[in-house]
Amino acid sequence: MTTLADLRLDIRHTLLTTPPALDHVLPGLLAGTLGVLVAPGGAGKTMLLTQIGCAIASGQPILGGALNGSKSSPARVVLFLAEETAVIMHHRLHGAAQQLQEDMACRSRECRQALLEGLSSQMNIYPLGGHGSLANFAGGSKEYRALLELCIGARLVIVDPLRRFHEGDENDSAAMTAIVTTFQRFAHESGAAVLIAHHANRVSMTSGGGEQAYASRGSTALTDGVRWQANLSPVSGPLASERGIDKSELRQFVRLDLPKSNYVRSLDTIVLRKDPQSGAMALWLPEALSKRTPATRTKRAGTPGEKR
């Protein structure tokens, strides 16, 4: 059992040694810490989380390099998805893998096969739609220990959405603080960065401000307690004009912001374009896209291992 004496910082050793490099799983989200992705329903947060997981599991740049962490080697990723079924994840995983292939310019059969093998060995996806009771993060419970065993040594653990994994009152500060503490413990014990998905509040959805820290639904104890927060929200008219997006296509775009990141400087707003068919997201680079024909923009790569 850890005691306070065990945790006392050795000042002499600390000041006489070089600080170790911080291990960023995502920019500002360190291994062993807790973060949250806030988004309104239907914004595409599950697809985005799946794509992030695929990139880390395969050791590839995340969203075209926009969210790269400290390491690029393939690493294990675990996703607990309370609202998704195996059938839905079948579709989502195809879309995420296809987008990853495009980002990699992975066209050969050998490349697709290597990607397939990598994802198969490093991705652990649990679609819990209809079986949510199997995932109980209540600290000390038998289910908690079982979940922890699945995640020991993982690089990233994704929990989507938070509401399905607890029974507390999200407007109650004490309840949300206890939930944050439980997930922080889980991150510490597993060694993984834990990223929980959470819904945005109505005010941010109806009057703008979806990119702000206060966009999270319920008590601010959640966003106060985590060390890292990302927000997925619609692209506004002014941002669309700035990034060269036609207003008639606004619904195909979302913005990703980091309103809270304790261990890295704030990142510029990232704009992502959704594929009309799969919903998979790609980094929006207007300069590069302006040189491509519409037919080229919508061409899809094959599924890993698929013959073309």
pLDDT of 297 higher than 60? no
Per-residue pLDDT reduced to its tens digit, 146-180: 999 999 999 999 999 999 998 889 999 999 999 99
All domains in the chain, ordered by first residue? 23-298 (3.40.50.300)
DSSP 34-51: EEEEEE-TTS-HHHHHHH
Calculate the CA 104 to chain-centre distance.
Answer: 20
Angle, CA of 4, 10 and 14, to the nearest 5°: 135
pLDDT of residue 288: 46
Per-residue pLDDT reduced to its tens digit, 183-225: 999 999 999 999 999 999 988 877 788 999 899 999 999 999 9
What lies within 8 Å, CB to CB, of 208 at 6+ separation is: 236
- Give residue 76's identity as a one-letter amino acid code: R
Crossing angle of the two packed helices 45-58 and 109-122, in degrees rounded to 10: 100
> Quick one: which of 260, 256, 199 has its CA closest to 228?
260
The three-state (H, E, C) secondary structure of 107-144, written as one string: CCHHHHHHHHHHHHHHEEEEECCCCHHHCCCCCCCHHH
CA–CA dist 237, 150 (Å, integer)? 44
DSSP 199-231: EBPHHHHHHS-TTSGGGBSS-THHHHH-SEEEE
pLDDT of residue 198: 97
What value does the mean pLDDT take over residues 119-137?
Answer: 91
pLDDT of 281 higher than 70? yes
Structure tokens at 146: 């079982």
pLDDT of residue 239: 94
What value does the mean pLDDT take over residues 133-154?
Answer: 88
pLDDT of residue 68: 96
CA–CA dist 127, 87 (Å, integer)? 9
Q: Is 202 exposed, middle or buried (0-12, 13-18, 19+ CB in 10 A)?
A: exposed
Mean per-residue pLDDT over the chain, rounded: 91
CA–CA dist 7, 66 (Å, integer)? 36
Give the confidence band of 21 by pLDDT, cuts at 50, 70, 90. very high
Per-residue pLDDT reduced to its tens digit, 51-101: 999 999 999 999 999 999 999 999 999 999 999 999 999 999 999 999 999
Angle, CA of 287, 242 and 223, to the nearest 5°: 110
pLDDT of residue 122: 98
Give the confidence band of 261 by pLDDT, cuts at 50, 70, 90. very high
What 3-state DSSP class applies to 243? coil
Starting from the edge strand earliest in sequence, which strands make up the sheet with 156-160, in order?
Answer: 123-127, 77-81, 156-160, 193-199, 34-39, 228-234, 253-261, 270-274, 281-283
pLDDT of 291 higher than 60? no
Quote the pTM value. Answer: 0.91
At 15, which helix (H) or strand (E)? helix 11-16
pLDDT of residue 287: 65
